A and B are shown apart, each in its own frame.
Chain A
Amino acid sequence: GAVVSQHPSWVICKSGTSVKIECRSLDFQATTMFWYRQFPKQSLMLMATSNEGSKATYEQGVEKDKFLINHASLTLSTLTVTSAHPEDSSFYICSARVPGRKAFFGQGTRLTVV
């Protein structure tokens, strides 16, 4: 089946630095990828929709200048958390929708900002 690979699986960074998370669709082309964030014991909250070759669409309340999304190719989308702060510590998950229905998810990235 379709596979989505997310890297890194965990990262610790210092406050004020930037962190880049990659999301790759391994055996299919994904014109659209989604970035979610999950706080402990909470649901997955959609942050933004990443469209190949165009600007990402951000959900209300998500700072686009802080969470930079780039979808440069049909198999790669990146999320960069800029000037990270401890409150950005969370579990970030990407997904790619197979043309049709199902969304496949990456393994997730645990970000800890110290």
Chain B
Amino acid sequence: DQQVKQNSPSLSVQEGRISILNCDYTNSMFDYFLWYKKYPAEGPTFLISISSIKDKNEDGRFTVFLNKSAKHLSLHIVPSQPGDSAVYFCAASAQGGSEKLVFGKGTKLTVNP
């Protein structure tokens, strides 16, 4: 049973445009969500997080939106840069983030120059 789903295995966008990565979850106990970026053969790097008390969190070019009723979150990257090309994982946790992280399968983003 996949509790965190990233239904798009890959996404390709043009440099300077917006990248939108989507994530759906099924467990209503999840109340803390994170996005990680991962390069091949490296550990994931934290990007941005959001608590369920918010519906939006912004950090520079990265914005995460949370729609609790739809159990959906998205990561917006604007403007996209070639260096953003990586695999992006969505992760969720319960108990205000103190529980273990459950990851989606990831979306491979390619930003073309």
Instruction: Tell me which of B11-19, B59-67, B76-84, B99-107 binds A.
Output: B99-107
Residues of chain B with a CB closer than 8 A to A101's CB: 32, 49, 96-97
Number of B residues, CB within 8 Å of A: 23
CA distance A16 to B105 in the complex (A): 31
Interface string of B84-99 (1 = CB under 8 A from A): 0000010100001110
Q: How many A-B pairs with Cβ below 8 Å?
A: 54
Q: Beyond A42-B105, A43-B105, is A107–B100 a contact (Cβ under 8 Å)?
A: no
Q: Is the CB of B101 within 8 A of A107?
A: no
- Interface residues in B27-46 by Cβ distance below 8 A to A read 32, 34, 36, 41-46
- Interface residues in A82-114 by Cβ distance below 8 A to B read 91, 93, 95, 97, 100-108, 110
Residues of chain B with a CB closer than 8 A to A41's CB: 9, 105
Other-chain contact of A108, B43, B46, B100 (Cβ < 8 Å) = B43
List residues of chain B with CB under 8 Å of any chain A CB. Answer: 9, 32, 34, 36, 41-46, 49, 89, 91, 96-98, 100-106
